[in-house]
Amino acid sequence: MSSAAAEGHVSEHVVSLKIYITIFVTLLVLTGVTVLVATIDLGRLNVIVALTIAVTKAVLVLLYFMHLRYSPRLTWLVTGAAFAWLAILIGLTIADPLTRSLLVH
Amino acid sequence: MLSNLPLFPEQAATSAQQVDALFFFLVGVSAFFATLIAVLLVYFALRYRRRSSSDRPKGIEGALGLEIAWSLIPFGLSMIMFVWGARVYVQLRQPPDNATPVYVVGKQWMWKLQHLEGQREINELHVPVGRPIKLIMTSEDVIHSFYIPAFRIKQDVLPGRYTTTWFEATKAGTYHLFCAEYCGTQHAGMIGWVTVMEPADYEIWLSGGLKKSLASAGEDLFQQLGCVTCHRSDSGGRGPALDGVFGKTVSLQNGATAVADEGYLRESILDPQAKTVAGYQPIMPTFKGLVSEEQLLQLIAYIKTLGAPAGGDGATRGAAVPAAAREP
Amino acid sequence: MSSHAAAVTHQHQFDDAAQQYEASALGMWVFLVTEIMFFGGVFTAYVAYRSAYPEAFGHASNHLDLTWGGINTVVLIGSSLTMALAVHASQIGKRGTLVTCLLLTMLLGSVFLGIKAIEYADKFHHGLVPGPAFHYQGADAHQAELFFSLYFAMTGLHALHMIIGLGGLAVLVRQASRGRFSPAYHTPVELFGLYWHFVDIIWIFLFPLLYLVERHT
Amino acid sequence: METVAPRRDYLNADYGVRSWLLTVDHKRIGLLYLGSITLFFFLGGLFALLIRLELLTPGPDLVSADTYNKLFTMHGLVMIFFFLVPSIPSVLGNFLIPMMIGARDLAFPRINLLSWYVFIVGALFTLFAMVTGGVDTGWTFYTPFSTMASNTNVIPTALGVFITGFSSILTGLNFIVTIHRMRAPGLTWFRLPLFVWAHYATSIIMILGTPVLAITILLVGLERAFHLGIFDPALGGDPLLFQHLFWFYSHPAVYIMILPSMGVISELITCFSRKRIFGYGFVAASSLAIALLGFLVWAHHMFVTGMSVYAALIFSFLSFAVAIPSAVKVFNWTATLYKGSVSFEAPMLYALGFIGLFTIGGLTGLFLATTGVDIHVTDTYFVVAHFHYIMVGGAIMGYLGGLHFWWPKISGRMYPETLAKVAALILFIGFNLTFFPQFVLGYLGMPRRYHVYPPEFQVLNVMSTAGASILGVGYLLPMLYMLWSLRYGALAGANPWRATGLEWTTPSPPPTENFPQTPVVTQEAYDYEEFPLQEVPVV
């Protein structure tokens, strides 16, 4: 590639087609797995398994489709902050209803 | 003019004394820091005022020791406030076991109160000095808030749920009752009076007029609505027998358990399938729309009396025993 | 300097194209943060209510069509792949592939919305739309209405993002076919890709949370 | 040093309405905001005036109960969403951040203009709701009142707030990217003016908090419009869930209002004591700490709602934690004066006033964080007094101080100094007379949002109303003399205060591109020791 590319984006990473296809196939397999697991009664584990698979899929999309893996540290920080604040929002909100009927001694 | 200028509210309950003590501590700490800042600001500003445009003050980077000190000292003080405040809060949020229940329903824009003995009041509450009173409250429409400044208590009243607060009045008199959560047009009109009476006066007030006690009003409803056909005390009914159920932990169909408190009973009447007791079919119809919030409270008051031993212990369950029997 | 370099202009507030690219990329990521928090509000409501009414949510979830939901998940993941391939094509300067991939992404996005429309119509037909017409057979009808309120709020917001995305794709197709993008300048394709993948990630969570509750019963 | 031939600057670079409405110059957009929020400030002030007049007597005499409820609702909505939240960031931040970091503009000038248009569209929705009958939910939109009980224009108002939220989001996004990517060579993070640090922290809150308000308000609108039942208690919905989501934004929103003001104060205190700020690192870090901790304390607005006792205690603890960085700032400002060369120009008077009023506001916040006391004082005039000390005594004093300080830069003219000092004094006195009695009223138990009240509360209410009329004069004065100064004020010159900071190195008013060439920074911020007053050329 010419000097144009060098002048353009220095930080950008070209991901190989093989990786894209691999991720795509993995996502499909995980979708199949999550549907299958849902039909088995695992009690409370059902939710945990479903969410673990969803998080795995999301992380794969983030890292490879969205190139996060090849992005500057600031992008990681921004993404991390989003999930940290999401955790604050959900966690501290439901901390109330979940402990509402408990008494303090 | 000054006689019209109140600066401090009346103290008429044990809770008021506790809150005020903490309040004065906070005022003290705040006054100290506000004065400190004000004095330093004024002193520095005057002492180091610009005397000539040739002043060349030396830059001061800062001082780590000072930074740590003025972070940690306020933090330490605030932890005293936190712990002290938490103790008061936990106490105000959790009524003692021996408190007498009074049932409160808020609606736009009035307070409806029912005593166990059957006395019903609107925008007024009569209570005796020296007896803990527990308010069990709900709303028919929007959120309200039951607020008695002289007692320093306030509790939001929510639709679809029971909330509780409690107090023990210490001084006879008449005190403001306010709605403190904005609830629409006549929010400022949703006010009333709390009359605290000497116990003897209170008994006279209670005995005025022949009233049906809350529990016996509930018993009538229990018959009228046909509850009795399934919830028979001989355990042969299609629904669980309710004798002594209040306050017990019941096993549910889904394997979980629930404490049969006011909230649970309320939910079970309005939404029977939400938490069906193990061993019974979810066949009970809903009574939503058939019973008012006040009638619900009557039913609950009745269920509380079922299977409770008469006399002393019954009082803690809130049974409708004669008032005299409850005097310590 | 190739002819491409001349095309890489930057706006006056930037020193050079690299600074412009870095600023735009950061801007897009920060925007996605706001999107996460935006959806976060409904997700919080979902978590609160599902933990309060697990069984009602289980029953209500079984009224959703798993087949359509599953197909849609595959369709959307497919569209993410074509979008990623579009970015790839723009990076290596293959204009034809870029346009094809963008069009495929649009096609898959439209299929997703079409299926969503079928599902919505089905819910209308069966009286599962919250409001006065809600007509639910089964226990815990009220809490089920809560579930369907969340279902429509979450999938509706998601579908709205898809529709906006389709608009963005249409613009990109136009620009790409006119040769606006080159290996040196394809920031819009890349940043739009981030948005599209984000919408995919939202669905990756919506699918198990809405369709796969208590499927074993 | 002004030459006869008019110099080209951002004000005379182009003429006509189009050149303003289509401008992408951050300075002109800042002025567009200045004009719009000033209108909203006086609209909100008018509502406040009517509220105070009604409360002059215990009975219902001036307005009906419904009208009163709409007045305080619209006062809150206008002042918070259309004045305080955009005030310093959108006017001074917009104008100054690029100049302070040596950039030609914000990273996304067109998005900046878009954010103003979004603001205006949201404002028009809200104004439409007001003139077609108003809204009576309170600015808090609590469910189920807002979803089921209110018969007023909730949907257009909610839409207005929803739309305006995006203006805030776009501004925050623009600031974050600009501060990260556009700093001049040599301008490291720890050489940034504290004004920029404060805006960085503010932007983080705008980015992370505002979307949650947007979705929450949207859900309220959907519940009213389409009977989506997410907050409906009849379906088992939790009315407290709305409050959690609402305060997740609306508590940090207080920091959106106060943090930029704190940034302004750091600039003023240093300049008028000719000294580097005491503890630069701590003041900068405390802004970030406030932004972070500010997200963990929201449910202290809900201690009496029937929320979990455990959760209440956690939120109480965290609320005390957020008080510390605020205290750190106050101590460091005070220490900055020590051994300085303090002078008392009008901006400095505002700054000193800010510290005093903010200290009282902050300390009374401790009462509300203390669970046991909060039970009594929440939802009373104690809370009203507390947040006005923060948002009016704090945020608006800072805003006015900043506006005076940078007015010469913005307009190229000096405002009349004596009048400005008088205005600052009037504001300080009027403010305290208005709001201090409300602390007493609150502890006595007067609930907020009451249209009529028991007669024993009257004397304190009369004091408050009297103070409000003084306050009103105090706010009118600066608007009048600043308009006057546009034409008649003395020419200011590039740096009338002889302040440090890149914005003062360029002429007043600045040229469109801000700097003839990109500045290179070699010094720490507030290097007043190396930049003494004496070399001031006589203007």
Q: Give per-residue pLDDT as tens, D396-440.
A: 999 999 999 999 999 999 999 999 999 999 999 999 999 999 999
Among A41, A44, A101, pick the best mutation site for testing chain B contact (most B Cβ within 10 A).
A101
Distance from CA of B234 to the nearest CA of D (A): 33
Selected residues 212-251 of chain D with any CB under 8 Å from a CB in chain A: 212, 238, 240-241, 244-245, 248
Closest CA to A68 of C193, C200, C164: C193
pLDDT score of D255 more than 60: yes
Question: Which residue among D173, D181, D245 places its CB closest to the CB of C31?
Answer: D173
**How is chain A split into domains, by residue range?**
14-70, 72-105
SS (H, E, C) chain B: CHHHCCCCCCCCEHHHHHHHHHHHHHHHHHHHHHHHHHHHHHHHHHHCECCCCCCCCCCCCCCHHHHHHHHHHHHHHHHHHHHHHHHHHHHHHCCCCCCEEEEEEEECCEEEEEECCCCEEECEEEEECCCEEEEEEEECCCCEEEEEHHHCEEEEECECCCEEEEEEECCCEEEEEEECCCCCCCHHHCCEEEEEECHHHHHHHHHCCCCCCHHHHHHHHHHHCCHHHHCCCCCCCCCCCCCCCCCCEEEECCCCEEECCHHHHHHHHHCCCCCCECCCCCCCCCCECCECHHHHHHHHHHHHHCCCCCCHHHHHHCCCCCHHHHCC
Q: Which of D295, D299, D308 sits opposite A85 (nearest CB)?
A: D295
| Start-end of H helices in D80-186 | 94-100, 109-131, 154-181
Q: Are D284 and D188 in contact (CB under 8 A)?
A: no
Question: Which of D111, D181, D206 is the best substitution to test chain C (most C C-beta atoms within 10 A)?
Answer: D181
The pLDDT assigned to D94 comes to 97
User: What are the structure tokens assigned to D288, written together?
Assistant: 């970030």
Neighbours of A60 (CB within 10 A): 19
Question: Would you tell me which residues 502-531 of chain D have a C-beta closer than 8 angstroms to some C-beta of chain C?
Answer: 513, 518
User: Is residue C32 over pLDDT 50?
Assistant: yes
**Which domains, and CATH codes, for chain D?**
26-535 (1.20.210.10)
Sign of CA dihedral D217, D218, D221, D222: negative
For C144, which residue in chain B has the nearest alpha carbon? B274
From chain D, the residues in CB contact with C40 under 8 A are 211-212, 215
Residues β-bridged to residue B133? B100, B167
Q: Using a CB cutoff of 8 Å and minimum separation of 24, what contacts does B312-316 make? A: B315/B98, B315/B100, B316/B97, B316/B98
Residue C4 pLDDT greater than 50, yes or no: no
pLDDT tens digits for D490-532?
999 999 999 999 999 999 999 999 998 899 999 899 999 888 8
Min Cα–Cα distance to chain D from A105, Å: 11
Residues of D in contact with C49 (CB under 8 A): 236-238
Chains touching chain D through at least 3 C-beta pairs below 8 angstroms are A, B, C
- Find, among D353, D256, D240, D358, the residue nearest to D303 by Cα: D240
DSSP string, D227-244: ---TT-GGGT--HHHHHH
pLDDT tens for each residue of C54-107: 888 999 999 999 999 999 999 999 999 999 999 999 999 999 999 999 999 999
DSSP 8-state secondary structure symbol assigned to residue D491: B
Please give the structure tokens belonging to residue B280.
Answer: 């019974």
Gap between the Cα atoms of D238 and A93, Å rounded: 12
- What does the pLDDT average to over B251-278? 83
Nearest to A83 by CA among D294, D289, C29: C29
The number of beta carbons lying within 10 Å of the beta carbon of residue D46 is 15
Of C48, C184, C216, the CB nearest to A5: C184
Say what the alpha-carbon torsion angle C169, C172, C178, C180 is, to the nearest 10 degrees. -170
pLDDT score of C51 more than 70? yes
Contact C19 D182 (CB under 8 A): yes
Q: What per-residue confidence (pLDDT) applies to B261?
A: 86
ipTM > 0.95, yes or no: no
Q: Is A92's CB within 8 Å of D296's CB?
A: yes
Does B254 sit within 8 Å of C140, measured CB to CB?
A: no
- The predicted-structure confidence for C147-179, as pLDDT tens digits, reads as follows 999 999 999 999 999 999 999 999 999 999 999
Quick check: C85 and A17 CB within 8 A? yes
R_g of chain A, CA atoms, integer Å: 20
- Cβ B282–C139 below 8 Å, yes or no? yes
**Order of strands across the sheet that contains B124-128:** B124-128, B192-197, B173-179, B144-148, B153-157
Question: Hey, is C60 helix, strand or coil?
Answer: helix
Which residue type does D24 have?
V
From B159, which residue of chain D is nearest by alpha-carbon distance? D233
> Could you identify the residue written with the tokens 């697991």?
A37
Token duo for residue B134: 């527990």
Looking at residue B235, its pLDDT comes to 61
- What would the two tokens of residue A45 be? 């584990």
Q: Rounded mean pLDDT of B243-260? A: 82
Kindly report the CA angle at D328 between D327 and D329, in degrees rounded to 5? 90
- Cβ separation B90–A104 shorter than 8 A: yes
Contact pairs from chain A to chain B, CB under 8 Å? 6
What structural domains and CATH numbers belong to chain B?
Answer: 11-39+69-211 (2.60.40.420), 214-326 (1.10.760.10)
What dihedral do alpha carbons A51, A57, A59, A64 form, nearest 10°? 180
SS3 C213: coil
How much is the pLDDT for B3?
Answer: 57
pTM of the model: 0.92
Residue of D nearest to C38 (CA): D211
Name the helix (H) or strand (E) containing D283: helix D280-293
Delimit the domains of chain C by residue range. Answer: 17-211
CATH architecture of the domain C17-211 equals Up-down Bundle (1.20)
What's the whole-number average pLDDT of chain C?
Answer: 92
Contact C197 A5 (CB under 8 A): no
Neighbours of D8 (CB within 10 A): 11
Q: Report pLDDT for B310.
A: 47
